[in-house]
Amino acid sequence: MSLLEVNGLNSYYGDSHILFDVSMRVERNEVVALLGRNGAGKSTTLKSLMGVVTPRAGSVIFDGTDVAGRKSHKIAQAGMQLVHEERRIFGSLSVEENIVLAGLTASKRWPLNRIYEMFPRLKERRNNRGNELSGGEQQMLAIARALIRDPKIILLDEPFEGLAPVIVKDLMKACRDLAAAGQTIVLVEQNLAATLALAQRIYIINNGHIVHEGPARELKAQPDILQRYLGV
Ligand SMILES: Nc1ncnc2c1ncn2[C@@H]1O[C@H](COP(=O)(O)OP(=O)(O)OP(=O)(O)O)[C@@H](O)[C@H]1O
């Protein structure tokens, strides 16, 4: 059985119907990316998986249990972690306090030194406050706060957005190391090159509908799909 099986998910903001029968699956140890234009419904999909948005119909079978409709902290306890676009770190706490705090209520935890091996910059900055970090360091910290809880699956919402190329390179290396260590990842990203380099399988969402699913390596050879749904 897949680690995550999403079937017929429908989500709304008020009366606005945003996701239409979204179905997708993620196997254990797989990196799956969700691509689509601005406003296509990528963030809403991640939020619906995580219970930040409550889907009105459909199922989210996570590790054998339907978690659709559960509160997000319950879904987090079951082993899912969402790294939001807004990063959500505590500016007045140190890097290390931010990480330790995130791990407090987890049933299993990564040791701190494993986090620091993954992100040597965070080790150097461990005593700096969250609001003293660069955008890239804040993104690393946001991911570290998710990883300390030893998630079965981590959902990354535009982790490279707005970051300098040199930081994107560091973050991509961390993501590759994570994937090589068997971490299951769902990636939402506008950076097509980075996405195709990291993901094994791709879904494309358009106006709230899944319109394509296939191996990442095949997408490069499908300019019609790239043009139609992503405008590249
Ligand atoms: N809190 C909200 N209330 C009402 N409408 C929203 C809300 N958040 C998003 N939307 C709308 O839902 C649709 C899907 O948005 P979503 O953020 O999921 O898209 P996205 O694919 O992640 O795009 P982006 O790359 O711009 O973040 C858009 O039309 C957006 O305007």
ipTM for the assembly: 0.96
Do 156 and 48 lie in one domain? The reply is yes
CATH at residue 232:
3.40.50.300
Contacting residues for 222 by C-beta, under 8 A, at least 6 apart: none
At which of 128, 150, 172 does a domain end? 150
**What total number of domains does the chain contain?**
2
Phi-psi region of 150 (alpha: psi -120 to 50; beta: other; left: phi over 0): left
Longest alpha-carbon distance in the chain:
49
Residues 132 and 191 in one domain: no
Contact assessment for residue 68 and residue 10, using Cβ atoms and an 8 Å cutoff: no
Q: Which domain holds residue 145?
A: 86-150
Residue 84's Cα: distance from chain center in Å? 8
Query: Is pLDDT of 223 > 90?
Result: no
Specify the pLDDT at position 231: 86
Same domain, 172 and 221: yes
Sheet holding 184-188, edge to edge: 80-83, 153-157, 184-188, 31-35, 201-206, 209-215
Least confident of 124-138, 142-156, 213-227: 213-227
129/120 Cα distance (integer angstroms): 16
pTM (2 d.p.) = 0.95
45 Rama class: left (phi>0) / alpha (psi -120 to 50) / beta: alpha
Ligand 1 neighbours by CB, cut-off 6 Å: 13, 16, 18, 36, 38-44
Task: Give yes or no: residues 193 and 143 share one domain.
Answer: no
pLDDT in tens, 178-199: 999 999 999 999 888 889 999 9
**Atom 29 of ligand 1, residue of closest alpha carbon:** 39
Write the residue with the smallest CA distance to atom 25 of ligand 1.
38
Pairing label, strands 209-215, 57-62:
unpaired
Is residue 86 very low, low, confident or very high in pLDDT (cuts 50, 70, 90)? Answer: confident
Q: What is the DSSP letter of 129?
A: B
In terms of domains, do 201 and 117 share one? no
**How many A from CA of 18 to the centre of ligand 1?**
8
Identify the pLDDT of residue 45.
Answer: 98
* Domain match, 23 and 42 both: yes
115 shares a domain with 16? no
Q: Which atom of ligand 1 lies closest to the CA of 190?
A: 25
One domain for residues 74 and 4: yes
Question: Ligand 1 mean position to 41 CA, how many Å?
Answer: 6
Q: Which of 150, 170, 197 is the last residue of a domain?
A: 150
Same domain, 104 and 15: no
Q: Are residues 134 and 174 in the same domain?
A: no
Which positions ≥6 away from 160 have C-beta within 8 Å? Answer: 139, 168, 171, 172, 189, 191, 194
Confidence of residue 112 (pLDDT cuts 50, 70, 90): very high
Residue finishing a domain among 116, 133, 150 = 150
